[in-house]
Amino acid sequence: MELILPETIEMKISKAASITGFRKQDIIQRALLFYLDSINPQLELKNEFDQLDILSDEALINFENVL
Protein backbone atom coordinates (compact mmCIF):
# COMPACT_ATOMS: atom_id res chain seq x y z
CA MET A 1 0.00 0.00 0.00
CA GLU A 2 1.25 3.44 -0.83
CA LEU A 3 0.28 6.52 1.13
CA ILE A 4 0.27 10.07 -0.12
CA LEU A 5 0.78 12.33 2.86
CA PRO A 6 0.70 16.09 3.11
CA GLU A 7 4.12 17.71 3.22
CA THR A 8 3.60 18.85 6.83
CA ILE A 9 3.09 15.25 7.96
CA GLU A 10 6.04 14.07 5.87
CA MET A 11 8.21 16.63 7.61
CA LYS A 12 7.04 15.52 11.06
CA ILE A 13 7.74 11.89 10.17
CA SER A 14 11.21 12.78 8.92
CA LYS A 15 11.94 14.74 12.09
CA ALA A 16 10.70 11.90 14.32
CA ALA A 17 12.75 9.39 12.34
CA SER A 18 15.92 11.44 12.65
CA ILE A 19 15.44 11.98 16.39
CA THR A 20 14.51 8.39 17.25
CA GLY A 21 16.68 6.60 14.72
CA PHE A 22 13.68 4.63 13.45
CA ARG A 23 12.92 4.28 9.77
CA LYS A 24 10.08 6.43 8.42
CA GLN A 25 8.10 3.27 7.69
CA ASP A 26 8.44 2.20 11.34
CA ILE A 27 7.22 5.60 12.55
CA ILE A 28 4.15 5.36 10.31
CA GLN A 29 3.42 1.78 11.39
CA ARG A 30 3.71 2.69 15.07
CA ALA A 31 1.45 5.72 14.58
CA LEU A 32 -1.18 3.65 12.80
CA LEU A 33 -1.09 0.91 15.43
CA PHE A 34 -1.39 3.50 18.20
CA TYR A 35 -4.37 5.09 16.45
CA LEU A 36 -6.10 1.78 15.76
CA ASP A 37 -5.59 0.69 19.36
CA SER A 38 -7.06 3.97 20.58
CA ILE A 39 -10.25 3.63 18.52
CA ASN A 40 -10.73 -0.07 19.21
CA PRO A 41 -13.23 0.51 22.06
CA GLN A 42 -15.33 2.68 19.72
CA LEU A 43 -15.23 0.01 17.02
CA GLU A 44 -16.29 -2.67 19.50
CA LEU A 45 -19.15 -0.49 20.76
CA LYS A 46 -20.35 0.19 17.21
CA ASN A 47 -20.22 -3.52 16.46
CA GLU A 48 -22.22 -4.25 19.61
CA PHE A 49 -24.87 -1.67 18.65
CA ASP A 50 -25.07 -3.16 15.15
CA GLN A 51 -25.61 -6.62 16.64
CA LEU A 52 -28.29 -5.25 18.98
CA ASP A 53 -30.06 -3.65 16.00
CA ILE A 54 -30.10 -7.00 14.20
CA LEU A 55 -31.47 -8.78 17.28
CA SER A 56 -34.06 -6.06 17.82
CA ASP A 57 -35.24 -6.33 14.21
CA GLU A 58 -35.48 -10.11 14.50
CA ALA A 59 -37.44 -9.85 17.76
CA LEU A 60 -39.87 -7.36 16.21
CA ILE A 61 -40.42 -9.59 13.18
CA ASN A 62 -41.04 -12.60 15.42
CA PHE A 63 -43.46 -10.59 17.56
CA GLU A 64 -45.37 -9.38 14.51
CA ASN A 65 -45.59 -12.94 13.20
CA VAL A 66 -47.17 -14.07 16.47
CA LEU A 67 -49.92 -11.45 16.14
For residue range 28-37, what is the model confidence (pLDDT) as tens digits? Answer: 999 999 999 9
Angle at 60 between CA 62 and CA 51, to 5 degrees: 105
Q: Are residues 24 and 35 in contact, defined by beta-carbon separation less than 8 angstroms? A: no
The C-alpha atoms of residue 50 and residue 40 are separated, in whole angstroms, by 15
pLDDT at 46 > cutoff 90: yes
Cβ contacts of residue 17 below 8 Å, gap of 6+? 23, 24, 26, 27
Question: For the segment 2-31, what is each residue's pLDDT rounded down to a tens digit?
Answer: 989 999 999 999 999 999 999 999 999 999
